[in-house]
Homo-oligomer: A and B are copies of this chain.
Amino acid sequence: MEKWFNEIIDENVFDIGARTSIKIGKTLFEGQSEYQKLEIVETPKFGRMMILDDCVMLTDAHEYAYHEMMAHVPMFAHPKPEQVLIIGGGDGGTSREVLRHESVKRCVMVEIDGLVVEKSREFFPALTTGLDDPRMELRIEDGVKYMEDKVDTFDIIMVDSTDPVGPAEGLFSKDFYKKVYAALKPGGIVVAQAESPYYFQKTQRELFEVLREVYPYTALYLSAIPFYPSGTWSFAFASKQHREDSQPRWEDMKAMALELEYFNPEIYKACFALPNFVKRNLQF
């Protein structure tokens, strides 16, 4: 008999009224950490799939559309990113993309849930290639606490979190973004996964209210990710100084695009174009 996984994010907390169903095969791992429920299953069409608290996190087939867009947009907006911090990102995909950049001297990844890292190493070898890079500093601890005493330290901070319920709740607060601001160098940029522009309009408004109180420049950019609710996902971009159009490194983008599945210079420019309903919701 056919088995289908039905994402039930809507029945949890967000009453979306729509969900994605994905045909699945064997369950490879199922377990409960201190923080969340983790499942890893096979799918006949999309490779392996990771599910956290009943929400699809990634599939082998489409993970690049998230990880490349989270990492390369801020990295290429910055003239020379050397010190990078990833909050969350336990599956390793974002760090893999960050470490493609030769300018990077250190990439700190602070993931609260060691089980996600452990099982990603086991079941998603293509995502975790960066974890053993000598420039990588992997810490299993609370990202909010890690930030407490960091001042003027990072060029880029990436908030690669789950939804703003459960372990990631604190990562959408003003207090957190003030700490991020302090931890960034003067030319620093923060990006954060910012949910679906179709289904999470209130969450987005609240996030930008916070960001605009703390940062002089904010923007939103989009990526097409099939298994995230609505199929379109967004990332918040906030900085002390650099805008996405200040001094992007076009030639470097062009070269790196050759080894990527999604990101390229045209996409860099295009992803900041927002439909009217998004602009109106966020007053862009």
Contact = CB atoms under 8 A, between A and B. Distances in A.
Interface of A: 4, 6, 10, 15-23, 43-46, 62, 65, 198-199, 222, 224-227, 230-232, 257, 260-264, 266-267, 269-277, 279
B230 A257 contact: no
A16 B272 CA distance: 30
B269 A275 contact: no
Given A198-B62, A262-B277, A44 B21 contact: no
Given A17-B45, A231-B231, A232-B232, 5 more contacts: A17-B22, A18-B21, A18-B226, A226-B232, A230-B231
Chain copies in the assembled complex: 2
A4 B46 CA distance: 24
Nearest to A230: B226
Contact of A17 (B23, B225, B262): B23
A5 to B, nearest CB: 10
Nearest to A196: B226
Contacts of A62: 198
Contacts of A274: 266-267
A201 to B, nearest CB: 12
A266 B269 CA distance: 10
A21 B22 CA distance: 10
Nearest to A259: B276
A42 to B, nearest CB: 11
A56 to B, nearest CB: 10
A218 to B, nearest CB: 17
Contacts of A44: 17
A105 to B, nearest CB: 28
Contacts of A271: 270, 273
Contact of A275 (B224, B227, B276): B224
29 contacts: A6-B21, A17-B22, A17-B23, A17-B43, A18-B21, A18-B22, A18-B226, A18-B227, A21-B21, A224-B224, A224-B230, A226-B230, A226-B231, A226-B232, A230-B231, A231-B231, A232-B232, A257-B276, A262-B275, A262-B276, A262-B277, A263-B276, A264-B276, A264-B279, A266-B273, A267-B273, A269-B270, A270-B272, A271-B273
A65 B17 contact: no
Contacts of A224: 198, 222, 224, 230-232, 275
Contacts of A264: 273, 275-276, 279
A62 to B, nearest CB: 7
Contacts of A198: 62, 224, 226
A15 B43 CA distance: 13
Contact of A269 (B15, B20, B226, B273): B273
Most buried by B among A4, A17, A271: A17
